[in-house]
Chains A and B, each alone.
Chain A
Amino acid sequence: MPVKLSSAPPNLSAVESVNLSLSTLQPVIEPKQKDSTDGEKAVKKLRQGALAVFGSTFLTIFLSEMGDKTQVATLLMSAESQSPWLVFAGASSALVATSLLGCLLGRWLANRVSPQMLKTAAGVSLLFIAVQLLWEITHY
């Protein structure tokens, strides 16, 4: 099965309701107007949700990686070499690659594992990360 990072978000209720209204024999114009405002609302809600997900992911990963081994390695390599921006080019493409791999793996799992199971596993993983961070704080 092909893994798609951009798999459609599940609550496409606006699109569904458009399809529904097209399938019924009601006058076309009135439901269409209603659906377009509903659609705008849904799009707005989706955008806010995506923004919240982006923000929380960005913040937690940014804070957890500050002073972490990868950053220290980047720091040391760029200090040693005469061209820090080449180090940045290598490091940044590696980081984009690892996050892309992570997200693809997450989507792949989402297609295979039940949502409830996935939610529990994801929650446990995040708790594990929190504990790991606390361990790093106390042992360095």
Chain B
Amino acid sequence: MFDWHLVGLSFITVFLSELGDKSQLAAIALSGSSKFPRAVFLGSAGALLLTSFLGVLAGEGASVLLPVRLVKAIAAIGFALMAVRLLWPEGDLPED
């Protein structure tokens, strides 16, 4: 039997926990300022799908997780670089 209850519960839990969270803020910021909002959507949705896929895999057995601190530090650098690119005065960067 298909357990709609479980699907609904996980949908609502994840939806509420992601609403207004940093990845959604990033999606707003990037899609608003980018020429390719669809690419931003696909990138964001794809990345989130992969993280929850890995979460499900890890939940099933091997709880081998990446060094979270290191990964987050790399992500912080990535966001900071994109921020600098947006805040940098026009003309100093090659047109893309």
Contact = CB atoms under 8 A, between A and B. Distances in A.
Given A65-B23, A125-B26, A126-B29, A9 B35 contact: yes
A99 B48 contact: yes
Interface string A1-22: 0000111011100000000000
A95 to B, nearest CB: 4
Contact of B39 (A57, A92, A93): A57
Contacts of B72: 63-64, 66-67, 133, 136-137
Contact of A123 (B31, B36, B59, B87): B87
Contacts of B63: 75
Interface of B: 2-3, 6-15, 17-19, 21-56, 58-60, 63, 65-66, 68-69, 71-80, 82-87, 96
30 contacts: A57-B39, A60-B78, A61-B44, A63-B78, A66-B51, A66-B71, A77-B59, A83-B6, A86-B7, A88-B53, A89-B10, A90-B7, A91-B56, A95-B14, A95-B45, A97-B15, A99-B41, A103-B37, A103-B40, A106-B31, A109-B28, A109-B32, A110-B33, A120-B86, A122-B33, A127-B79, A128-B25, A129-B22, A129-B76, A130-B77
Interface of A: 5-7, 9-11, 49-79, 81, 83-103, 105-107, 109-110, 113, 115, 118-134, 136-137, 140
